[in-house]
Chains A and B, each alone.
Chain A
Amino acid sequence: MKPLEILKTAMTNSLRSKLRTFLTILAIFVGAFTLTITNGLGTGISNYIDSQIAAVGSNNSFTVGKTDTSGNPGSGPKKYDASTRVLAAGGRPGSTQLALGQSDLNAIGAIPGITGVTPVTRLNPDYIQWKGHDKYQLTVSPLAGAQPQLAAGTGLDDSGTQPQLILPASYVAPLGFADNNQAVGQDTTIGITDATGTRHPITARITGVEQSALLGGGGAFINKALSTALADAQGTGAPAATKTAWANATATFAPSSAAQINDMKAGLAAAGYTAQTLDDRIGTVKTVINGIIGVLDAFAVIALVAAGFGIVNTLLMSVQERTREIGLMKAMGMGSGSVFALFSTEAAFIGFLGSAIGSAAAIGLGTAVSGALARGPLSDLAGLHILAFAPVPVASVILLVMAIAFVAGTLPAWRAARQNPIDSLRYE
Chain B
Amino acid sequence: MSVPILSARDLTKTYGRGPDRFDALKGVTLEIDRGDSVAIVGKSGSGKSTLMHLLALLDSPGGGQIHVDGTDAKTLNGRRLNALRNSMFGFVFQQFFLNPASNVLENVVLPLKIAGVGARERRTRGMTVLEQLELTDKARNKAGDLSGGQKQRVVIARALVNNPQVLFADEPTGNLDTATGRIVEDILFDLNANHGITLITVTHDHDLAARFNRRLYIRDGLLITTDEEHAA
Contacts and interface: CB of A to CB of B under 8 A. Distances in A.
Interface in A1-45: 1-2, 5, 9, 16
A333 B114 contact: yes
A contact face: mostly helix, strand, loop, or mixed: helix
Contacts of B78: 335-336
Interface in A281-331: 324-325, 327-331
A332 B114 contact: yes
Nearest to B53: A422
A111 interface: no
A325 B85 contact: no
Given A421-B58, A422-B58, A332 B97 contact: no
Contacts of A332: 85-86, 91, 110-111, 114
A146 interface: no
Contacts of A328: 97, 110
A420 B115 CA distance: 19
A5 B118 CA distance: 9
Interface in B185-230: none
A333 B164 CA distance: 12
Nearest to B88: A333
A333 B101 contact: no
B101 A16 contact: yes
B108 to A, nearest CB: 12
Contacts of A338: 114
B120 interface: no
A335 to B, nearest CB: 5
Of the four ranges (under 10, 10 to 19, 20 to 34, 35 or more), the interface on chain A belongs to 20 to 34
Interface string B75-109: 00011011111110001010101010100000000
B122 to A, nearest CB: 10
Contacts of A329: 110, 114
B82 A333 contact: yes
A425 interface: yes
Nearest to A420: B59
B26 to A, nearest CB: 19
Interface in B109-151: 110-111, 113-116
A335 B82 contact: yes
A325 B93 contact: no
Contact of A333 (B53, B85, B95): B85
B113 A333 contact: no
A5 B82 CA distance: 18
A334 interface: yes
Contacts of A420: 59
A335 B79 contact: yes
Contacts of B111: 332-333
A5 B113 contact: yes
Contacts of A16: 101
Contacts of B97: 324, 327-328, 425
B113 A1 contact: yes
Given A1-B114, A1-B116, A2-B116, A334 B59 contact: no
A5 B116 contact: yes
A426 B87 CA distance: 23
Given A1-B113, A9-B113, 5 more contacts: A328-B97, A330-B85, A333-B111, A420-B59, A422-B59
Interface of A: 1-2, 5, 9, 16, 324-325, 327-336, 338, 420-422, 425
Interface of B: 53, 56, 58-59, 78-79, 81-87, 91, 93, 95, 97, 99, 101, 110-111, 113-116
14 contacts: A16-B101, A325-B99, A328-B97, A328-B110, A331-B58, A331-B85, A333-B81, A333-B82, A333-B85, A333-B86, A336-B78, A338-B114, A421-B58, A425-B95
